Structure 1
Amino acid sequence: MSRRTLAVCASALALLVAAPALAQTGAAAPALPVSLIEIPAVSDQVLSQPITLWVDATDIERRIMSVRQSIPVKQSGPMVLFYPQWLPGNHGPVSPISQIANLQFSANGQRIEWVRNTLHPWSYQVNIPEGVTSLEVSFQWLTPQADAQGRVVMTPEMLNHQWEKALLYPAGYASRNIGFMPRLKLPEGWDYAGALKVEGTIDGYLELEPINLEHLADSPVFAGKHFNRIDLDTSGRSPVYLNIVGDSADMVKIKDEHLQLHRNLVTQADRLFGARHYDSYNFLVAASDRLGGIGLEHQRSSENSVATKYFTDPTATLADRDLLGHEYTHSWNGKWRRPADQMVANFNEPLQNSLLWVYEGQTQYWGLILTARAGLMTKDEALGVMAMAAAQFDTAPGRQWRALQDTTNDPIIQQRRPQPWPSIQRSEDYYREGSLIWLDADTLIRQKTNGRKSLDDFAKSFFGSDDGQWEAAPYTFEDVVSHLNGIVEHDWASFLRERVDAVGPDSHGPMNGFTQGGYRLVFKPEPTGYMAALYKELGRNDFVYSLGMMLNGSNRITSVTWDSPAFKQGLTPGWDIVAVNDKAASSDALKDAIKAAAEGGAPVTLIVKRDDRFRTVTFDYTGGLRYPHLERIEGTPDYLGDILSPKAATPRRR
């Protein structure tokens, strides 16, 4: 039997058997197919008419979105409808199909029964009667009420609507060949932001421009009662908007000097890439602690949630500082230039993630660099970010058994669920460790050319053609290597494979970028200013490079590094530290005890509690407090400083 064969489940058969009984009560059940029906293979056919899609998002108190669709029908007989499963930017089969309820099909006023495909449960089969030209669909998307149920996308003040979570589409078609006419109803008085243009209103709904399914799913909406929209583009090339929604009116205000830094981000991206791959671009930003957190890329927009103080007190919010730079970079890397194994026909064809260390890793690199070049982050803050990444991946325990390449499978096999031992399991390290590979490449190019060329030249070569084009352009590993060789000749294939495939007890992270860039990783008894401020903001107390554990503000252990002193004492996340060397527990008390032990004092002794259990543990550790820093190597070029410096405009040729 073909793996794509539609199996009729037992419940469907039961419905068929029960049909006479149902008929006796007046609830006639239209016949369901009992033969094995294959899901249609994707062809080049174009859906005859666009699907009309109505989404009512006004039920904000109950957080329910109500959906209606009219789907054109080509012929009678079995028809398969998909709910999107593999969501771009999520890199896995993570769509919330379990949140769909009250699914109903009808045609010509008559109800049509459905059955789910038990092998491919993101698809439904219906039997279309003779003479039907349009299938009517309705359902509710029961969006989460709390974080434990999934990401919250509706609050009394705002919503984040993602079209692909509120639609069905017919099997057998490529996403680009399915047209949609989207309609969206918002609460009274709310403003709308998104890549799709509003063409008018109809029955209280915003009438949005017609678009195919591929681009509809790439065009999310932010809307809210507290709203601010600002044009960031000053070049006159194409609009770039900063759209802000917030929990309160104050949260959407932005000071002129802070606004200028966001305009700098657009300018620095122009100077890096040399082309824009959008007709307009919308930063969708929620300053909220009520809407669920998100950072998600799209070709012509990005979804971003930031701390409530992001605009009102910018210096107090380090955790979100490079988010917009990262997601904006994705317009070039990941959306326009896209790995070839991500170029699937529709949202129910499995993705492959083999090049996520380019897609996400290089984006992580450019996101930080553009943030620093724009002035949204200082050089010292950016070096603090790099120091933390260097320390994490220099001797990461997970490298003993698992290569970076294999972590590109994590969004599929792990689906971003919490892990008990992330330091040994590894989780999506293609982001931050991947960025270190590109720092290594950047500084190597600069070293080989005495600073005349850099990875900036690769960015312009690889991403900087076809200005205005926003249909995806696929790339392969060989394409990346070829463009690198176009900048400077080197065995780039081996360079990259050695770093993404490295594994074993002596394996270290890609650290050459720091020494080539004029810096070395060192550990000091005090954290960098960046690390201290970040962890204060996040409520974390870091003892990772001493005892091997992280605490929260309540003295609870939140992570333990594999094979560290804390690990060897049998500690795990979830233990509360009650006392340190006979004193009430606090991060300061623990720091003092670690310092004293390093100077020949008493060992560090903790009383810990979990549920109704108490334990006393003593550490034979005398290494003192250790926090990562990047230290300048005197007498070497400061390539990292050059990398982080704003890029000047290229003089025009006369």
Structure 2
Amino acid sequence: MKKALFVAPALLALSATTATAQDGNSRPQPVVQPLTIPLPADKPYPGTMTLKVDATDVARGIFHVRQTIPVAKAGKLTLLYPEWLPGKHAPRGAIAEVAGFKASAAGRPLTWTRQPTDVYAFDIDVPTGTKSIDIAFDFLSPTRASEGRVVVTPAMMNLQWEQVSMYPAGWFTRQIPVQLDVTLPEGWLGAAALDGLKVSGNRYSFGVTSYENLVDSPMFAGKYFRQWALGNGVTLNVVADEPKYLEASPDHIARHAALVSEAVALFGVRHFDRYDFLLALTDELGGIGLEHHRSSENSRNPDYFTKWNDNDAERGLLPHELVHSWNGKYRRPDKLWTPDYRTPMQDNLLWVYEGQTSFWDLVLAGRSGMQSKEMILAEWATNAANYSAQPGREWRSVEDTTLDPVIAARKPKPFASWSRSEDYYNEGSLVWLEADMLIRGATNNGKSLDDFARTFFGGREGDWGQDTYDFDDVLSALNAVHPYDWATFLRTRLQTPGQPAPVGGIERAGYKLVWRDTPNVFDRDRMAQAKNANLTHSLGLTIDKDGIAGGILWDGPAFRADIVNGTKIVAVDGLSYSRERIEAAIRAATDGKTPVRLIVERGGRYRNIDIAYHDGLRWPHLEKTGSGPDWFDQLLAPRRRL
């Protein structure tokens, strides 16, 4: 197993003196402070931390934290609050929400100082003879979306242990033992993929685990909670805003069980001894889709079960996070694996970690019946169409977008089609589709990307450690399935800007991208859920239910009319805006002479705009090109033993 090397930054000793230059101006030199945080070492921590979290203050969303940390010697102890978080691919630690921090030993207050060059590090003076110290603080979780993701509502909560704990610097987190107690509101039930659970009233006490495993094992809890066993050691745990949303039919549960069976059939082994889907059905809790080795953190609309037939587009999230147990958690890029939560991660291979997972989530959704073939092909059509119209491809490669979690922190962008965003997900999916179809075509369907998945992400049953890889390991595994110039294939499509739209897999499957004046089912359902109009491929924008424009396509018709994100479409042809009216105006403009006439408002200023667009409504679809075998049927056929 290859290990990512941690290299300490070089320290430059500079004088703090101020010199006078020849021009008479004072010119200081920088003061560089020495490195004072111990680097992580792979050695056992001397003792077991205890973590107690009081999560009963639901009304105000405040978690009260008490933590005891054994110490081996007097002097300075540096505690770290987690910063670089697995699955988020960026420094997202919620340090701003920590308040009331205090440290003590045997009831006596201790002096502490936050390091000004690393605000996640707390230095504590430990007196001689001290065996352990206690820390206490409150985590003030956001109470509205403008403050951050809401993790507590009157009906449920999402407990993420990295938000309510600290750890000592100088050790690999897998070497630091910790024992957790959490007190929930009266009558609430919860689940976490942690072992040794003992429940006493509303107190949940877990057995000793590593700090690494603790952070990787969040908890969902709520008033309204149900569990279903799915087989293969997997449990579906669901909390909901109201009890009526927990009414899942036997068929719904059977499809989730089939998803698990299909995943095990694909990879051949389980890299977990247990796995817990944690699913919140909610309009109130902040949305989340986050992977863990033995669990997921997911939220969906409240009517996920109760309006099953209307939610086909939503059902790709659980397959995605389940696949991550193999791809992302067990097999992990060597520079994305870190020994603690202070060491920066390097995201350059996320087109495997997330991109291939985005391929397999659609495939497994199709094989298990979680999603229809029509929906899966529609999603690929939408993604391929978006990349066919994306001018940012000219200057930015897919691999460069793997750095976007750090660069942009997932904030909205003014012109995302030009700047690009985290395209390693969906474009990665299309590139891996092409790899699959290339292998199938060359071997007459004798081999496929299934063979890569089984060998690359397989291994020993029950091994839920981590096995790291690099680019050459990916090439070697692909060539073992089918010899080919995979280095050029991947470097061209993923590491080189200026590439055409990634439609090679669609074409090798015997389909082509076509345009129609009605939306495909994926776009249709997403527009219905968002209550917006996606006119990306006609006017070059989306419009929300209130008439506010967004998603402006660089150099598209709306862009050329100086419409930017946040512009309000007030009227269409002199009448108040509605989706029906703007679609009718686009149809009328196909006569080649009638413009799309709008009144828009931005910042209290109104303008009349005539957009000379005449190509009609356009949404992407996939259309079969011949009478031969349907390779998508081959790809989506179930693999599990019936």
TM-score, normalised with respect to structure 2: 0.93
- Secondary structure of 2:85's counterpart equals coil
Tell me what 2:576 maps to.
584
- Secondary structure of 1:282's counterpart equals strand
How big is each residue's C-alpha offset from its partner over 1:608-648, in whole Å with a ceiling of 9 and x where there is no partner? 11232100111121111111011101144321222122225
Change over 3 Å in CA distance of 1:502–1:580 after alignment to 2? same
Tell me what 2:194 maps to.
196
Q: Which amino acid aligns with 1:255?
A: S
- Secondary structure of 1:572's counterpart equals coil
Tell me what 2:110 maps to.
112
How big is each residue's C-alpha offset from its partner over 1:53-97, in whole Å with a ceiling of 9 and x where there is no partner? 101101111110011111011111111110000000000001110
Tell me what 2:26 maps to.
none
Tell me what 1:345 maps to.
339
- Any gaps of 5 or more consecutive residues in structure 1? 8-34
1:156-305 equivalence runs, <5 A: 156-201=154-199, 205-233=203-231, 238-305=232-299
Tell me what 2:3 maps to.
none
Tell me what 2:353 maps to.
359
Q: Which amino acid aligns with 2:556?
A: S
Conserved 8 A contact 1:5-1:38: no
Q: CA deviation at 1:240?
A: 0.7
Deviates more, 1:408-417 or 1:330-339: 408-417
How big is each residue's C-alpha offset from its partner over 1:146-175, in whole Å with a ceiling of 9 and x where there is no partner? 111111111111111011111111110001
- Secondary structure of 2:302's counterpart equals coil
| 1-structure distance, mates of 2:57, 2:176 | 29
Q: Is 2:555 the partner of 1:551?
A: no
Alpha-carbon RMSD across the aligned residues, in angstroms, is: 1.7
- Any gaps of 5 or more consecutive residues in structure 2? 1-7, 14-32
Q: Which amino acid aligns with 2:580?
A: D
Change over 3 Å in CA distance of 1:592–1:202 after alignment to 2? closer
Tell me what 1:564 maps to.
556
Q: Which amino acid aligns with 1:279?
A: D
| 1-structure distance, mates of 2:408, 2:312 | 28
Q: CA deviation at 1:511?
A: 1.4
| 2-structure distance, mates of 1:204, 1:623 | 62
Tell me what 1:614 maps to.
606
Tell me what 2:636 maps to.
644
Change over 3 Å in CA distance of 1:377–1:199 after alignment to 2? closer
| 2-structure distance, mates of 1:192, 1:551 | 39
Conserved 8 A contact 1:4-1:39: no
Tell me what 2:92 maps to.
94
How big is each residue's C-alpha offset from its partner over 1:530-584, in whole Å with a ceiling of 9 and x where there is no partner? 3222211221201110110111122221221011011011001111112222233
| 2-structure distance, mates of 1:509, 1:190 | 49
| 2-structure distance, mates of 1:503, 1:3 | 31
Change over 3 Å in CA distance of 1:37–1:481 after alignment to 2? closer
| 1-structure distance, mates of 2:429, 2:337 | 23
How big is each residue's C-alpha offset from its partner over 1:236-286, in whole Å with a ceiling of 9 and x where there is no partner? xx4210000000111122111111111110111111111101011100000
Q: CA deviation at 1:104?
A: 0.3
Tell me what 1:18 maps to.
none
| 2-structure distance, mates of 1:3, 1:446 | 47
Q: Is 2:417 the partner of 1:423?
A: yes
Aligned residues: 616
| 1-structure distance, mates of 2:407, 2:513 | 33
How big is each residue's C-alpha offset from its partner over 1:425-462, in whole Å with a ceiling of 9 and x where there is no partner? 11111000111110010000001011111111111111
| 1-structure distance, mates of 2:490, 2:304 | 37
Tell me what 1:317 maps to.
311
| 2-structure distance, mates of 1:199, 1:375 | 34
Tell me what 1:454 maps to.
448
How big is each residue's C-alpha offset from its partner over 1:574-603, in whole Å with a ceiling of 9 and x where there is no partner? 111122222332212111211121123521
Q: CA deviation at 1:529?
A: 2.9
Change over 3 Å in CA distance of 1:36–1:127 after alignment to 2? farther
| 1-structure distance, mates of 2:256, 2:469 | 30
Change over 3 Å in CA distance of 1:87–1:200 after alignment to 2? same
Conserved 8 A contact 1:5-1:39: no
Conserved 8 A contact 1:6-1:39: no
Tell me what 1:29 maps to.
none
| 1-structure distance, mates of 2:286, 2:369 | 27
Q: Which amino acid aligns with 2:138?
A: Q
Q: Is 2:602 the partner of 1:573?
A: no
Deviates more, 1:522-531 or 1:57-66: 522-531
- Secondary structure of 2:319's counterpart equals helix
| 1-structure distance, mates of 2:483, 2:443 | 11
Q: CA deviation at 1:116?
A: 1.0
Tell me what 1:55 maps to.
53
- Secondary structure of 1:649's counterpart equals coil
- Secondary structure of 2:622's counterpart equals strand
Q: Which amino acid aligns with 1:62?
A: R
Q: Which amino acid aligns with 2:257?
A: R
Q: Which amino acid aligns with 2:79?
A: L
1:472 aligned to 438, 442, 466, which one? Answer: 466
Change over 3 Å in CA distance of 1:416–1:585 after alignment to 2? same
| 2-structure distance, mates of 1:585, 1:159 | 39
How big is each residue's C-alpha offset from its partner over 1:33-58, in whole Å with a ceiling of 9 and x where there is no partner? xx967211222321111101101101
Conserved 8 A contact 1:396-1:508: no
Q: Is 2:595 the partner of 1:597?
A: no
Conserved 8 A contact 1:60-1:155: yes
| 2-structure distance, mates of 1:480, 1:209 | 37
Q: Which amino acid aligns with 1:306?
A: R
Tell me what 2:518 maps to.
526
How big is each residue's C-alpha offset from its partner over 1:156-204, in whole Å with a ceiling of 9 and x where there is no partner? 1111101111111111000111000111111111112110134325796
- Secondary structure of 2:38's counterpart equals coil
| 1-structure distance, mates of 2:79, 2:592 | 71
Conserved 8 A contact 1:179-1:210: yes
TM-score, normalised with respect to structure 1: 0.92
Q: Which amino acid aligns with 1:386?
A: W
Q: Which amino acid aligns with 2:619?
A: Y
Tell me what 2:534 maps to.
542
Q: Is 2:493 the partner of 1:495?
A: no
| 2-structure distance, mates of 1:3, 1:278 | 36
Conserved 8 A contact 2:261-2:640: no
Conserved 8 A contact 2:40-2:169: yes
Conserved 8 A contact 2:241-2:282: yes
| 2-structure distance, mates of 1:203, 1:308 | 28
| 1-structure distance, mates of 2:515, 2:211 | 51
Tell me what 1:634 maps to.
626
Q: CA deviation at 1:139?
A: 0.3
Change over 3 Å in CA distance of 1:527–1:36 after alignment to 2? closer
Change over 3 Å in CA distance of 1:301–1:4 after alignment to 2? farther
Change over 3 Å in CA distance of 1:349–1:428 after alignment to 2? same
1:75 aligned to 58, 73, 76, which one? Answer: 73
How big is each residue's C-alpha offset from its partner over 1:390-418, in whole Å with a ceiling of 9 and x where there is no partner? 10112311101111111111111111111
| 1-structure distance, mates of 2:89, 2:35 | 29
